[in-house]
Amino acid sequence: MTSNKFESKGGLEKHRLETLSDGIFAFAMTLLVLDLKIPKISHNVMASGALAHTLLGLWPKFLSYATSFLVLSLYWIAHHGYSHFVKRTDRWFLWLNLLFLMFIVLIPFSTDLLGDYHTEKIAVMIYGGNLVGMGIALYFQWWYATRCHHLVGEGLESELIRKGKMRILRGIVLYACAVLIALKSPTVSLALYVLIPISYIFPSPLDHHWTHSHD
């Protein structure tokens, strides 16, 4: 009886998926700050400015935290926006979403690793690989949902679907290049990790379409 109900609607309801996704994003974003530890300094050397010096020495931790929080914020906005166009789900889409969330939950680990070993190639590459994995998982979600308008409304234009794919692919390519650059210069790669998300702050055509559809 339940199966017939879902079949008549053309798929599974998406509310529980959105609830799970929002909860995991909130959990991962909260975990990021737990890696920022208050430095322990002896009171005997406090007057010499040791605290300020120690805090300045933690800049890689703060930078990786801020970058990852921005990245997760952008991916949450993107996931929220794409979910607006998805009218229903099915079993394969749920698995693709879980794959995406697996990379989201991994971000606090790769962020902590980057903050502690920002000069090490392997740490910088693992962080970038995490970002690439997130992008690939999101791309396949969007591809699967929009394939022949499988899970999205028929009114969603093909050009908007294409632009959505290209927006995700651009991030995947840029982060993949940053991973390769880390083989030669982890510092340049780290700078790219900081700069790439900034370009995604500005609204895309899908964002405008989403806003107008709400209006």
pLDDT attached to residue 82: 85
pLDDT attached to residue 3: 41
pLDDT attached to residue 68: 96
User: Which residues of the chain fall below pLDDT 50?
Assistant: 1-9, 214-215
**Which residue from 19, 20, 199 is spatially nearest to 98, judged by alpha carbons?**
20
pLDDT attached to residue 202: 79
Rounded Cα gap, residues 119 and 131, in angstroms: 18
pLDDT attached to residue 80: 86
Enter the pTM of the model. 0.84
CA distances from 162 to 103, 147, 183 (A): 24, 11, 32
